């Protein structure tokens, strides 16, 4: 009996591998042509969202971007229009279901169609979990989980009308292994990844392909707008340096290229950067060991000594200023406020 079960499991596993390879080969033969398509990007006024808007526009797609700040949207619209893109901007808080409905209606009213939705909007708090409030957890869930759910469900009827369409969910390596001092962020990303994978399975055969993206650290310049809790200066220092160093972090433009590639070819999942792949694979095989290793690394992170400080001034320390050079350059390129 045990041999029969093992033989059956082996056959199922082999069939799954063959099916996965066949799917990848087929998708490579039949990519989505983005020319003339309409791509909606949430949180698209700056950072990775802006890099994605620029990248999709290069393929001839019309771009719709949403954000909560009208001024930021106007700046990003000029940037994209100057690059030859056809752009619609919509003020929208994706945590508000009604606002999302109005946003989708605005896109359809302008273009008459919707082909690709990129759920990218996000917030991040950095600090030990005991420095976080319930409101911090609620905020991350509202934007990165409920924002993804609201936008996907509102867009789905329009996506189903296309022969081929995509939902791209930007999660994180933090959705593979929860990272110390980023616990609210990781919780929201885990939830978003579960939604993404479940929707991907349910929509098989409908023409709507769901792609789960799991980046590691990226040089998007977002560290200048992160919220720091606990020992704020020390938290800002380690996170900003980590999000700026090459090898540890990936350039946002390179990440955007890989995400557009995953969109065109309809990959179910794409993990970005070597460090993120190593962490995700290790956690998949040895979760207990991964938690222990992350715990050891967490011991070197700042202790929870509440200390409100001027984090921008703290990063002007000559050593930290030098180590965050690439991060500052990314912040300027990607229109981060305050840069």
Name all contacts of 65-68 with Cβ < 8 Å and 24+ positions apart.
65/40, 65/41, 65/89, 65/90, 66/40, 66/41, 66/42, 66/90, 66/91, 66/92, 66/94, 66/103, 66/121, 67/43, 67/91, 67/92, 67/121, 68/92, 68/93
Q: Tell me the C-alpha distance between 124 and 333, whole Å.
A: 20
Output the CA torsion 184→185→190→194 (10° steps).
Answer: 110
- Whether the CA torsion 285, 289, 290, 291 is positive or negative: it is positive
Residue ranges of alpha helices (H) inside 203-251 are: 232-242
Q: Tell me the C-alpha distance between 190 and 269, whole Å.
A: 14
Contact 50, 78 (CB under 8 A): no
Q: Tell me the C-alpha distance between 287 and 302, whole Å.
A: 24
Residues marked as catalytic: 185
Residue ranges of alpha helices (H) inside the chain are: 2-29, 47-58, 70-82, 97-111, 134-140, 147-160, 183-202, 232-242, 252-265, 274-285, 287-298, 311-314, 318-323, 325-333
The radius of gyration of the chain's CA atoms, rounded to the nearest angstrom, is: 20
β-sheet bridge partners, residue 214: 271
b/e code 172-184 from CB counts within 10 Å (16+ = b): bbbbbbbbbbbbb
């Amino acid at each position: 009996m045990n041999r029969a079960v093992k033989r059956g499991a082996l056959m199922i596993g082999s069939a799954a591998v063959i099916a996965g390879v066949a799917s990848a080969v087929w998708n490579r033969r039949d990519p989505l042509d983005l020319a003339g398509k309409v791509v909606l990007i949430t949180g698209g006024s700056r950072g990775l969202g802006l890099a994605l808007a620029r990248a999709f526009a290069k393929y001839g797609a019309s771009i719709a971007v949403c954000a909560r700040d009208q001024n930021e949207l106007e700046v990003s619209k000029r940037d994209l229009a100057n690059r030859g893109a056809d752009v619609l901007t919509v003020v929208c808080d994706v945590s508000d279901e009604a606002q999302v409905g109005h946003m989708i209606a605005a896109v359809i009213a302008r273009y008459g169609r919707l082909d690709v939705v990129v759920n990218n909007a996000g917030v991040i708090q950095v600090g030990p979990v005991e420095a976080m409030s319930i409101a911090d957890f609620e905020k991350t869930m509202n934007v990165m989980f409920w924002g993804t759910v609201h936008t996907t469900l509102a867009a789905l009827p329009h996506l189903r009308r296309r022969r081929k369409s995509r939902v791209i969910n930007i999660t994180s390596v933090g959705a593979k292994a929860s990272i110390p001092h980023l616990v609210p962020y990781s919780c929201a990303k885990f939830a978003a990844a579960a939604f993404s994978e479940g929707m991907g399975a349910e929509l098989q055969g409908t023409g709507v392909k769901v792609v789960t993206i799991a980046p590691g650290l990226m040089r998007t310049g977002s560290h200048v707008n992160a919220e720091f809790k606990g020992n704020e200066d020390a938290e800002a220092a380690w996170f900003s340096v980590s999000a700026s160093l090459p090898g540890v972090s990936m350039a946002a433009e390179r990440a955007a290229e890989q995400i557009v590639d995953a969109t065109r070819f309809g990959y179910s999942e794409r993990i970005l950067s070597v460090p993120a792949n190593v962490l995700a694979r290790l956690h998949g095989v040895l979760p207990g060991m991964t938690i222990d290793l992350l715990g050891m690394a967490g011991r070197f992170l700042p202790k929870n000594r509440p200390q409100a400080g001027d984090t921008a001034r703290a990063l002007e320390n000559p050593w930290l200023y030098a180590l965050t050079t690439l991060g500052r350059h990314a912040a300027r390129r990607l229109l981060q406020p305050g840069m």
